[in-house]
Amino acid sequence: MHARLGGTRSLKEGKIVDKLLTAMHSFVVEPMQHGRLFLAGDSAHIQPPTGAKGMNLALADVVVLARAITAHVRSGRTDLLERYSQTCLRRVWKAQRFSWWMTQMFHLHPDDNAFDRKRQLGELSYVVSSEAAATSLAENYVGLPVET
């Protein structure tokens, strides 16, 4: 910590009293709107950090909502606002699946048995040896296109 802070002497050190792992969890609000209230980002969905999708999903929500609001203000269209939730949720559920898959592939659970660990190694082996699996991982990790 001292090295990261450039050797500052103002860092006050204390005794570590506990070390815990934070449980990874997922949550999705459906629908992502109620009347004229629209939810975006973490107010609508949370996923484990393994897939690194939180900010990408939030930005995608905002892009979809901005397009819908712009269409409403410019031409009175309400169709994009009415479809906001279903448009965003298609992407959210794909990201949830990906984050769950990445978590299962990279993290051990204390209750896992020898079979679970071998299955996990089999999954990792498949991803690094299959062009199709590697392509799927790359497509999902980089991010799916934002729907119009």
3-state secondary structure (DSSP) of residue 26:
coil
pTM, rounded to two decimals: 0.78
45: which strand partners?
Answer: 28
93-86-76 Cα angle (round to 5): 150
- Who contacts 103 (Cβ-Cβ below 8 Å, separation ≥6)? 24, 48, 50, 51
Taking domain 27-142, whether its CATH number is 3.50.50.60 is answered by yes
- How is residue 43 written in tokens? 């107010």
- Total length of the chain: 148
pLDDT above 80: residue 58:
yes
- pLDDT score, position 68: 97
Q: Which residue has the higher pLDDT, 69 or 25?
A: 69
Residue 116: per-residue pLDDT: 92
Amino acid 131: pLDDT: 96
The mean predicted confidence, pLDDT, of the chain is: 89
Output the pLDDT for position 144. 79
* Short-list 137, 105, 138, CA closest to 124: 105
Identify whether the C-beta of residue 54 lies closer than 8 Å to the C-beta of residue 42. yes
- pLDDT of 128: 94
What would the mean pLDDT of 79-96 be, rounded to a whole number? 96
- Look up residue 37 and give its amino acid: L
What is d(CA 104, CA 34) in angstroms, rounded to the nearest whole number? 33
Among 1, 91, 95, 86, smallest CA distance to 48 is for: 95
pLDDT for residue 22 is more than 80: no
Model confidence at 17, pLDDT cuts 50, 70, 90, reads: confident
Q: Provide the H-helix boundaries in 29-113.
A: 54-75, 79-82, 84-106
